Structure 1
Amino acid sequence: MSTAHRFDRGHTDDLISFLAASPSPYHAVANTAARLEKAGFRQLAETEAWDASAGGRFVLRGGAIIAWYVPEGAAPATPFRIVGAHTDSPNLRVKPLPDTGAHGWRQIAVEIYGGTLLNTWLDRDLGLSGRITLRGGEHRLVNVDRPLLRVPQLAIHLDRGVNDGLTLDRQRHMTPLWGLGKAEEGDLIRFVAREAGVEAREITGWDLMTHSVEPPAYLGRDRELVAGPRMDNLLSVHAGTAALAAASASGALSYIPVLAAFDHEENGSQSDTGAEGPLLGNVLERSVFARGGTYEDRARALAGTVCFSSDTGHAVHPNYAERHEPGHHPVANGGPLLKTNVNQRYATDGGGRALFTAACERAGVPYQHFVSNNSVPCGTTIGPITAARHGITTVDIGVAILSMHSARELCGADDPHLLASALTAFLEG
């Protein structure tokens, strides 16, 4: 008998819905905001004055959201407990002049975003999502969630050595097609305008990208796995949102719990909505000052602040076990990961390990360790950036998955709930 289904699957069912409804960072932020509003949080504008009242609030900027809950009687120097994550995933993004084609095919010019596993986008039915900007600056979400585009692979008859090694040119081989005929300037935007119910001349800007239209689903003999897109890192955004809502309803809090979900992690975090930008620091500082704090209070609050940087990590791959560190083999449904790298690709140290262990013990969930094979370069997260930029204790954690950066990734069905439980215990302090 399988050991799966040990935990309530309601959280994972909701994660599946969240993934399906969030094909772009902008949709992920909108869906996160809707969940927080349902939990009693209210949106603040960055351009308006903030007050000292208790309760939950959040700010939105593009593909990023920062949310926090101020308990009754919180002092100006009360430290924060932060769950950090990111909303973006590797994919194919539409270029400024998108209409192209050749030899009787209409195509869409795309730019590769992030560390995309290119071959996973071949022969896959793709939709189109993101946002459009109208005259006057209004943003509207767009989601064409049906088979619209496809990147066709070359037939084996025309590339007899393809199974000995596939080489894809990012410029020549990754352009999706979406119809027959001659490319016409403005064709894509006219189509998007019809889908959005606006006039094409009203669209003056856009941030559009492709996504796989195959829905996420349970997988396996006992449905103990979940396959789906954008788990890196919407799985953590979803878990962090659930944890923040739960912590805000838990009663007395010793800290101010925060969710910081950034954009642009997959290409370095250097943007106004990325972890290396000023957004989080501004929010934390304004929260201190809104409660009557001084610069001294700000320094004291940050000195006692801890961030759990939550991002997916690598489960041991049964077909490539030699690529993993032999003494550390994380498995699906084994609980959240503690990620360590002494060269500061992850921010975890011994003190951070103790904090993570305490949160997992309080939540009653198992946990695992991840460290890279010395011969395989280690990836990184928002963790080291957050620690260095704000001078706060940061711990890198996550969930073990397979096929990271694929158009469709794989995790254990129990792990999302286990992560959310650990994050809730952490935020509750």
Structure 2
Amino acid sequence: MGSVETGKSSRISGFHKLSPADRLKLVQGFAGLDAAAAGHLAQPALDPHLADHMIENVVSAISIPIGVATNMKVDGRDLLVPMATEESSVVAAVCNAARQCYDAGGFTTSVSGTEMIAQIQLVQVADPQAARIRILERKTEIAEICNACDPVLVKLGGGFRDVEVRVIATQGGPMVITHLIVDTRDAMGANTVNTMAEKLAPSIERWGSGKVYLRILSNLADRRLARARATWPLEAIGGAAVRDGMLAAYHFADADPYRAATHNKGIMNGVSAIVLATGNDTRAVEAGAHAYAARNGHYGSLTTWEVAADGGLSGTLELPMPVGLVGGATKVHPTAQACLKILGVQSAADLARIIAAVGLAQNFSALKALATTGIQSGHMALHAQNVAIAAGATGEEVARVAAVLVERKAVRQDVAETVLRELRGKA
């Protein structure tokens, strides 16, 4: 997986203490970034001309910080992982979780494939069960119509794979739903499968003797799953009491949807940060993940946690991961391209596997914090700098005000404003 030179370690001591410029130099050397990519990351401006062609009615662009998670070892390869997020403690959480399982081998990952689903909705059908069979009988013709939409994809080894037809009961009566199963390879594939569904719709109407309305992909990409697993030794996490507290937190999340929503949001803190950094569709990934968490009729945890044979903590994560390396913003946005170079991935499957590993790491850190010091301790210590800046602190004032806020355990803007006035009064 990937082309980044082997033998390099992601265990970079004191990385968080360096200046942004010095961190970037280390990342450039680790990933072999060229001067253009490094220069863009140092001054991450988006060309107005490019922005104007990415979306409509453009007036400006917003910058989100990109941090780099260290200590990540995925399938035996050391990685530096770029993460785009506005939330404090997310990147640090991944670094800490990865460090604690690094010596145990890090993360092992896999994917189920790169297949996406397009749905074609057929209504006003007199004989829905017979229509289902009539459509299934046309599999060869369906394959020809779909593959003709994208000969390049077929040449690359992708294209139509299978057809499924379901009859579902709805408030408006029975509907015949055709699923096109398409291997989109290194593309996320939305445009490809949507085109195929639209091209096929008139034929579905004719074969099924009904009316087609919707023809669009499904974001519940359960044929495109990414999986990650890791084991944290007992001594690395602080003993059996911490392990058991983490298991209790997981059991709570898996049983209660109110807890599971926040539990899974924490997982997506890590997942969405890489999806965004690489120019992929965060909304598609998030929608698919949360739908997958409810696939059994109950919304629960995306992760599973168990006691390993040696007494350590074993964690796994499985979720849909429709991401790509080609098409959309991933291909045209210079920051996304630089982030992909840092990861050194060669396929969409490689990227999906890394994202799953980061999601599992994120969940580990959240569960450990909840089972020990509480989630606010580390998070608010990092968030204090944001509060200090919001209160008007600049330069060295930021760290000084933040330190006082943490010491007083009052990370609030009104307190920060008071502390800042006191500091400036003494000065």
Higher relative contact order (CA 8 A, sep 6+): 1
Which of the pair has more CA radius of gyration?
A: 2
Return the structure number with greater strand share: 1
Q: TM-score, normalised by structure 1?
A: 0.24
